[in-house]
A and B are shown apart, each in its own frame.
Chain A
Amino acid sequence: MLNDAAVEIIIRVEGDIVLVRKKIREAAGFAGFGGTDITRIVTAASELARNIFKYAGKGTVRCTRVENGSRQGLTIVFKDQGPGISDVTRAMQAGYTTSNGLGMGLPGSRRLMDEMHIESAPGEGTTVVVSKWLK
């Protein structure tokens, strides 16, 4: 783990989603990602940060450069203490939503990133961890 370039953003208001996009764009560029991958990472971060604001009201986004064997990349952790997800499998299905959204935030972000892990239980908040590796 390379923690030298950790970035943390606290989400409290809607405008913080823009801050997440800006900081993650910088971090992805700094990590060596190309234009299309930067757009993928920033778009996924925007979706997941909006989920925090929409469902939990507040939370944190933490981005670190990571090294796993010969692979280098970026890991972003989205953490909140909100209501949690009762059925993670269902939440990963396209079109499923408990708000009035399109229901593509989680499955779409999964496609844009290389890895995604979700830890959540009702009443215990949600942690979403996504990673993208340099090709």
Chain B
Amino acid sequence: MGADSIAVNRIRNILLVTVPPDPEDETITVLQEKVLKAMSRHDAKGVILDISVVETLDSFFARTISETSQMVELMGGRTIVSGMQANVAITATQLGLTLDNIRTALDVDIALNLLENMD
């Protein structure tokens, strides 16, 4: 899945990023850059990373998500990872990924509510 397929959409003052099902490392890196650029351009208060179609979450992917979350936080925003599939959650935990400091939500709708009510 190429880097061109990543879209960062703005809903009010929140950025919604739908992560493709099986991204290359390069694509994940591009995603991080796009999110951070969009943060400053749109004066966004938060980012939702929707991973509901992601089938494999390995350590590189997890580390980039953690990093992105920290960077967004430095810019004054919050990140919520939404929609992790059950298989992915089981595997990520057994692999040893803790996703420390990452907020999660079952779906985009819940994530939107969380961000709207956050100060």
Indicate whether B111 reaches chain A with its CB closer than 8 angstroms. no
For residue B94, which residues in chain A have a CB less than 8 angstroms away from its CB? 40, 108, 111-112
B24 and A17 contacting across the interface, CB-CB below 8 Å: yes
Tell me the chain B residues, 29-78 only, with Cβ under 8 Å from chain A: 55-60, 62-63
A104 contacts B22, C-beta separation under 8 Å: no
Interface residues of chain B: helix, strand, loop or mixed (majority): helix
Measured between beta carbons, the chain B residues less than 8 angstroms from A42 are 55-56
Chain A residue nearest to B57 (CB atoms) is A43
- Which residues of chain B from 66 to 92 have any CB-CB distance to chain A below 8 Å in the complex? 86-88, 90-92
In the assembled complex, how far is the CB of residue B36 from the closest CB belonging to chain A, in whole angstroms?
A: 20
What's the dominant secondary structure at chain A's contact region? helix
The tally of residues in A whose CB lies under 8 Å from a CB in B reads 28
Docked-complex contact B91 and A40, CB < 8 angstroms: yes
| Cross-chain contact of A39 among B60, B63, B88 (Cβ < 8 A) | B88
| Chain B, interface residues (CB within 8 Å), range | 20 to 34
Inter-subunit contact A105/B25 (CB<8 Å): no
- A14, B60: Cα distance in complex, Å: 12
Which residues of B have CB within 8 Å of A65? Answer: none
Asked if B110 is at the interface (CB within 8 A of a chain A CB), the reply is no
Distance in Å from the Cβ of B51 to the closest Cβ of chain A? 13
6 contacts between A and B (CB under 8 A): A15-B24, A17-B24, A35-B87, A46-B56, A50-B60, A102-B63
Q: Point out residues on A near B: beta carbons under 8 Å.
A: 14-15, 17-18, 21-22, 25, 35-36, 38-40, 42-44, 46-47, 50, 94, 101-102, 104-105, 107-109, 111-112
